[in-house]
Amino acid sequence: TDTGYELWLNYKPVQDLPLKQSYIQLYSQVNLPQCKYDEVIAEELKGCLKATLGITPRFISNTRASIQMSYCKDKSLGMEGYLIRNNNNKIILQAYSDAGFLYGTFHLIRLIQCEYPLDRLNIREVPALDYRQLNHWDDLNGNIERGYAGKTLWKWDELPERLDERYTDYARANASIGINGVVLNNVNADPRILRRDYLKKVSALAHILRKYNIRIYLAANFAAPMKPSSTPDVMKKWGGVGELDTANPLDPNVQEWWNTKVDEIYSLIPDFGGFLVKANSEGMPGPQDYHCTHAEGANVLARALKPHGGIVIWRTFVYNPQIDKDRIKRSYKEFLPLDGKFDENVILQAKNGALDFQPIEPAQPLFGAMKQTSLMPELQITQEYIGQSTYLVYLAPMWKEFLNFDTYCKGAGSNITKIITGKVYPTKYRAMAGVANTGDSNNWTGHHFAQANWFAFGRLAWNPKETIEKITSEWIKSTWNCDRSAERVITQMMMPTWNNYARSHSPYSLGLTTQVSCHYRAGFDIRANKEWKIDNKGIGTNRTFNGTDYVSQYFPTNCTHFNDIKQCPELYLLCFHYVPWNHLMKSGDTFEKEFVESLKQGVQQVEENIQLWRSIREKIDSRRFEEVMNCLLKEQQDAKAFYESAVGFFSAYLPHK
C-alpha cells in the first residue's frame, strides 16, 4: 500500500501501453560510463524500470545500447548540467562532469513517471544556482524547532555504527530534485555538534550523502571555542566544546581554535561544505558581544575554512531593538553598512521577508541593495506560520511571488531571480536555502501535500524560472500516479491555497497575527497595537515617509509606490499603511468590505478542498486518501476557530458590524 514513504519517487507501472512499449525499447540497455555516481545511477534505474516498465535494463558498454551516457566537452554544462536528446531512437545523455549523469538520470526517470513522449527530446539543464540547500532546524536531542513531522531523521545515538536506511532514501529524494547541500542541525546551534564524537557521526552521514552529490554543512555556535563555564546563559542548556575564555573574533587564540577545529573537520569529512551561523539574534552569541561587527565575526570562520574551499553562510535575521523602533527595518540597517566587508567565501542568508516567515510579506530590501556581497534567500519549507502540518498550503506560488519581486535596483526588471543568479551584479555565489519540513514520520513531512513544498523548493532552487504549472503537474503525477482528471482536481486544490491562507490569516500583509510562542492559533488580541495599529478608524502600520519610513529601504520606484496608498500593491497594503476602513480599493469596494471578505477565504478554501478531494476518492489509494481527508477535516475545524477569533476581535473595530 502507498504510505507516502516513497515521496515523488513512487514508481508505478506506466498505464499508457503504446508509450510503455516505446519506453521499454528506449530504456532497455544503458551505456553508463564509469563515474562517481555509476552505482547509485544503476540502482535507481533498475528500481524504477522494474516498477514502471517491468524490465531489468542491461548495462553494456558499447554504442548499441539504447541509452548512451557519455561525457562531452561542453564546459558550459558545468559541474552539474546535462543534455538529453533523442537521436535515431537512442537516448543520448551527455554531461561535462559526473554529477550531470546523476541529475540527468533522475530527469530520464521523471520522463517516464510523467509519461512524456520521447520522440523530440531536446533538453539542456544547467542549474541556475550552485548551492541548493536544505537547512534542518534539528536539535541534538531529536526535537526539531518548528518541525511538525516528528523527530529528527538523524539518529545520533546510533551513529556512526548503525546507518538507518532512511538516510539513503533521504539522499535519493534530494538528489532527484537537485538539492546538493544540507545543514544537519538547528541554527540555534548546540556547540557539541563540533565535538569529535559528533563529527564522526556526521562523517558517517556524509559518506552516504556524498554518493548523491550532497555536501554536509553544520550550524556553528559562535561561542563554541569557549569553555562551558564562561559562555553566556543561553548556552547553559548545551555546554561547550572549547577551552577558551572568550570567542572574541580579534583574539588570535580564537582564530587558532577555529583553524584547528576546521582542519579536524576536513580530516573526517574531506568535502565538508562549511558553516551556517546565527549570531547576535534571539540570544545567540556573536561578534557583537565583543563590540565587533558581523563581518569581523564571519571572517574568522571564513579564514579557517578558506584553505579547504569551505564557505560561511551568515544569517541576517537579527532584530536588536536598539537599531530601530520598527523591527522590520533592523536587519537592513545592520547589514547594509557591512557590504564589501565580508571575506569572499562568506554568503549572507536573508529570509524572503524582513519580518519573519509570515504568510505574506514584501521582499527583504537587502536584495538588490547588497552589491558586493553574495546574498542568498532563506525560504521556509516547514510551515511555521502557515498551518504547520495540518493545513494544505502549497508554497510554490508564494516563492514565485518572491522570486518575481522587482527590486528596481538597476531599473525595471531587476527581480530577485536575476539578483540571486548573478545577472544584476556579478556575485561569486549563487545560492538558496529552504528550512526543511522533514521528520521521522512515515511520509517524511506529516501532511502528504507538504511533500509538494519540499519538491517545489528543490525544483525552484535548480531553476527559479521553472513554471509552477510544470512543477506542480510533475509532483502530482509522480506522487499520486493518478489520471489526468484527478491531476486537474488536485491542481485545483493546491493552487489557490497560499493566497487564501494569507488572506485569511495575515490579510494584506498585516504581519504577526498568531499567538506569541504558538504560531498556529490566532492571537489578534495579543498582537494588536503592538505589531500593528488598529482602532475604529483603520488598521495597519504606517511605514511611509511620515511613519517609520521603512519604504525608504526600497529603491526609488518601489519606495514611491509603497509610500503612496493609491499605488501600493494591495497585497502589501497593511505592511506599509495604516488604512482607513473606508479607504476605496481598486475593486470599488471599501477596504472594510474587502477585509471582511478576505478573512473568510480560509474556511471557504478548506470546504472546497474537502469536496474536491471527495470527488476523486476512487482514484486515490485508500490509506493516503483517508490520511489527507483527516488533515482536511482538522484544517476545517481549526480554520473555523481562527476565523471566529478574527471576527470576534475585529468586530469591535469595524464601522459596519
Q: Which of 296, 384, 401, 635 is catalytic?
A: 384
Q: Which of 39, 43, 256, 282 is catalytic?
A: 282
Is 361 catalytic? The answer is: no
Beta bridge partners of 86: 91
CB of 186 to ligand GCW, least distance (A): 6
CB of 283 to ligand GCW, least distance (A): 10
- Cα dihedral 144/150/152/153 (nearest 10): -150
Q: How far apart are CA 294 and CA 283, in angstroms?
A: 15
Measured from the CB atom, the residue of 317 and 508 that comes closer to ligand GCW is: 317
Measured from the CB atom, the residue of 357 and 498 that comes closer to ligand GCW is: 357
Q: How far apart are CA 598 and CA 505, in angstroms?
A: 9
Is 626 catalytic? The answer is: no
Consecutive H or E run containing 135: strand 131-135
**Do residues 407 and 414 lie in contact, with contact meaning Cβ atoms separated by under 8 Å?**
yes
Q: How far apart are CA 240 and CA 223, in angstroms?
A: 8
DSSP labels, 263-316: HHHHHH-TT--EEEE--SSTT---GGGGT--HHHHHHHHHHHHGGGT-EEEEE-
**Do residues 462 and 100 lie in contact, with contact meaning Cβ atoms separated by under 8 Å?**
no
C-alpha cell at 475: 509532483
CB of 281 to ligand GCW, least distance (A): 6
Q: How far apart are CA 565 and CA 570, in angstroms?
A: 9
**Residue 374 CA: distances (Å) to CA of 165, 313, 424, 464, 620:** 36, 10, 12, 17, 45
Measured from the CB atom, the residue of 101 and 137 that comes closer to ligand GCW is: 137
- DSSP designation for 61: -
Measured from the CB atom, the residue of 206 and 284 that comes closer to ligand GCW is: 284
CB of 380 to ligand GCW, least distance (A): 8
Q: At what angle do helices 98-113 and 166-177 cross, to 10 degrees?
A: 90
Give contact residues for ligand GCW (rule: CB under 6 A): 137, 145-146, 187-188, 278, 282, 317, 356-357, 384
CB of 413 to ligand GCW, least distance (A): 30
CB of 307 to ligand GCW, least distance (A): 29
Measured from the CB atom, the residue of 380 and 443 that comes closer to ligand GCW is: 380
CB of 154 to ligand GCW, least distance (A): 17
Cell 514611491 belongs to residue: 560
Measured from the CB atom, the residue of 80 and 334 that comes closer to ligand GCW is: 334
Measured from the CB atom, the residue of 221 and 609 that comes closer to ligand GCW is: 221
- DSSP designation for 553: G
User: In terms of Cα–Cα distance, which of 575, 576, 471, 523 is closest to 110?
Assistant: 471
Beta bridge partners of 590: 584
Measured from the CB atom, the residue of 353 and 397 that comes closer to ligand GCW is: 353
Q: Is the dihedral of CA 276, 280, 281, 284 positive or negative?
A: positive
**Residue 476 CA: distances (Å) to CA of 5, 449, 487, 488:** 15, 10, 6, 9
Measured from the CB atom, the residue of 380 and 497 that comes closer to ligand GCW is: 380
Residue nearest to ligand GCW (CB): 356
CB of 384 to ligand GCW, least distance (A): 6
Is 80 catalytic? The answer is: no
CB of 330 to ligand GCW, least distance (A): 14
Q: Which of 164, 169, 271, 356 is catalytic?
A: 356
Contacts 24+ apart (CB under 8 A), 195-198: 195/241, 196/264, 198/140, 198/156
Catalytic residue positions, numbered: 282, 356, 384
